[in-house]
Structure 1
Amino acid sequence: MDHKSPPPTRNPNWVRDELILALDMYMQNPRSPPGKSSPEVRELSNQLNQLNAMLGRTGGQDFRNPNGVYMKVMNFRRFDPSFASLGKSGLRHGGAEEEDVWNEFASDPKQLAATAQAIRSALSQSAQIVVSAEFDDVEEAQEGRLLAVLHYRRERSRKLVKARIKRAIEETGELRCEACDMSFSERYGEWGDRFMEVHHTRPLHTLEEGRVTPLAELALVCSNCHRMIHRRRQWLTVAELVSIITQAKRQAKI
């Protein structure tokens, strides 16, 4: 009886975090990116495998190998106007997410470099952190899933939440959402006393692992407003959400 070998494992699609790192490599030298056998591409291959392990993603034996990584880096050439002006085109095969990442980051090399560095820093300092199932419903941020999850971990720190709530009570004697002015104690009585969520206001690409979080960077927000801030990939600032709430109230009166 013939025993058929199992079908090869299909490699999962590239995620935003990986594409940011690949684009960062491309933008460092668009006219002559590192070759597929270069130390830079091999290092990026290692970083991507580490990143995917942290995100709980696996693939086949060729998963994010140097050859595949090099090809993905070169995919960005098809969006590069300076390359197209020479009458040339990059590798055509790729996903729609590549164009999104190009449009969001290619025109802002400083933010791209800072975001890529923040991801690499998280990889080097959080090697033991594995993104668990508790974050399956986390809305991916512009900077990718890994930094989004680390952001949520900071916001869920009981020590930070208690310290921020304590300061607010000492300063104002109450807890109110900084976006909509809602008070849990007013709405739920004693059951809602001393309850409020916190939102980390600092941009993800500026956060370094191991950095102490000042309480001034934590905004007090109710659960609904917190969800609205994180609802879409381009997360809102508290000020932007306040503006949305104000506008909605004005429209409701019309």
Structure 2
Amino acid sequence: MSLSDLTRSAVELAIAEYDQIGPERFLEKYGFGKARKYFLVVGDREYHSKAIAGAAHGYIPGQPMPLRSIDFSGGENTVAHVLGNLGFVVRSTEAKPRNPTWSRDELILALDFYMENPASPPGKTSSKIAKLSEELNKLAAILGVSGDGQFRNPNGVYMKVMNFRRFDPAFAAVGNSGLSHGGRQEELVWNEFSQSSGRLHAVASAIRAAIVAGTLSEAQTELGYMAEAEEGRLLTVLHQRRERNRKLVEARKQKALDETNELRCEACDLSFGDRYGPHGDGFIEVHHVRPLHTLREGDKTALSDLALVCANCHRMIHRRQPWLSVKQVRALVNEMATAARPQLRSV
């Protein structure tokens, strides 16, 4: 009996049992203590690596006996090495903190990669996985995210891509189930983009273009009151930059003054001049109305891409996912105004 006999499927079966009966019963059943240094990480959960490896040995076909604690000649360090070679992520308590949870931007790129060929995605040693790993590390640098030496390495990237199989009905239709573990964000991104491959690819392409452009820096990625859009943080930042471009803002305001001689919110019709007198004259904010996946670094923003909005309506647009359109906010304002009017009684 040897750790070298372990297979990925056997480890996954041991993880499933761990999830089913709980850590205390699992450790008691197989005669292991709690891990002290190395933890197997799957999605948002951590597992006692040595106990998982010992139990997994009993799931290998032709190897009915799980390993006992005394059967490990190399201890936890050897277990971590074996699990890592099988494509699993192992965290050491003596190392740097575990790598950050995957961002929405990263998951969009991973799903776009998966959807290119879901029946047979490129292997973990392929040049395409290596390229995706490189893209994700460049993206992390822009977003100010850092990790250890294993951050978004090809093995981890491949595993994350394959996690999408657990949501894929085509994969389940042929009797497969995929991994049962993963983060909540994976499911959200799948539900939002998997049925719209054109939009998914457009968003992923826009993210990649922003990465290649390289004009954004970590200092530019603070969003303030603005909630991150469905399309991810990087495209949200590009959107925000256009709304804060003073030259564009002043040009759009001047266009409105030339045409109507006033500045009014296109959602609620508020004029700061009417509300606050001379103190409010000339004040209004702008909202960039183009879909985020159409934004590219270096593109010229037309004045028709900008809508005039008051500060309140602007914050309502960006308050949470999905962002509202100016038209939707206007409908909400009208709906609430109608509900507030006194109802006329019939005689």
The code of the aligned residue for 2:105 comes to: D
Quick one: structure 1 residues 176 and 136, their matched pair in 2 at CA, closer, same or farther if it must change by over 3 Å?
A: closer
CA distance in 2, matches of 1:218, 1:45: 36
Tell whether 2:164 aligns with 1:76.
yes
* Displacement of 1:136: 5.0
Do 1:16 and 1:101's aligned partners in 2 also have CA atoms closer than 8 Å? yes
Aligned to 1:14: 102
Tell whether 2:220 aligns with 1:144.
no
Do 2:221 and 2:237's aligned partners in 1 also have CA atoms closer than 8 Å? no
Aligned to 2:119: 31
Tell whether 2:185 aligns with 1:97.
yes
Aligned to 2:137: 49
The code of the aligned residue for 1:174 comes to: E
Secondary structure in 1 matching 2:308: strand
Do 2:220 and 2:237's aligned partners in 1 also have CA atoms closer than 8 Å? no
2:275 is aligned, of 169, 172, 187, to: 187
* Displacement of 1:132: 3.8
Secondary structure in 2 matching 1:12: coil
Aligned to 2:250: 162
CA distance in 2, matches of 1:94, 1:248: 41
Secondary structure in 2 matching 1:198: strand
Deviations 1:198-252 (Å, cap 9, x if unpaired)? 0000000111111001001100000000000011110111111111111111112
CA distance in 1, matches of 2:224, 2:302: 28
Which entry has the higher C-alpha Rg, 1 or 2? 2
2:195 is aligned, of 99, 107, 110, to: 107
* Displacement of 1:130: 2.4
The code of the aligned residue for 2:174 comes to: L
Deviations 1:40-97 (Å, cap 9, x if unpaired)? 1111111111111111111111000010000000000000000000110222221011
Q: Relative to structure 2, which stretch is displaced further, 52-61 or 106-115?
A: 52-61
Unaligned 5+ segments in structure 1 are none
Runs (4+) off by over 2 Å:
5-9, 126-138
Aligned to 2:319: 231
CA distance in 1, matches of 2:221, 2:187: 29
Quick one: structure 1 residues 85 and 17, their matched pair in 2 at CA, closer, same or farther if it must change by over 3 Å?
A: same
The code of the aligned residue for 2:210 comes to: A
* Displacement of 1:10: 1.2
Secondary structure in 1 matching 2:279: helix
The code of the aligned residue for 2:336 comes to: A
TM-score under structure 2 length normalisation: 0.70
* Displacement of 1:133: 6.5
Secondary structure in 1 matching 2:319: coil
Deviations 1:173-200 (Å, cap 9, x if unpaired)? 0000000000111122222111110000
The code of the aligned residue for 1:164 comes to: R
Aligned to 2:204: 116
Quick one: structure 1 residues 244 and 148, their matched pair in 2 at CA, closer, same or farther if it must change by over 3 Å?
A: same
TM-score under structure 1 length normalisation: 0.95
Quick one: structure 1 residues 18 and 134, their matched pair in 2 at CA, closer, same or farther if it must change by over 3 Å?
A: closer
Deviations 1:27-49 (Å, cap 9, x if unpaired)? 00000111111111111111111
Aligned to 1:62: 150
Unaligned 5+ segments in structure 2 are 1-92
CA distance in 1, matches of 2:216, 2:328: 35
Aligned to 1:198: 286
Do 1:54 and 1:127's aligned partners in 2 also have CA atoms closer than 8 Å? no
The code of the aligned residue for 1:21 comes to: L
CA distance in 2, matches of 1:205, 1:249: 34
CA distance in 1, matches of 2:329, 2:216: 35
Secondary structure in 1 matching 2:283: coil
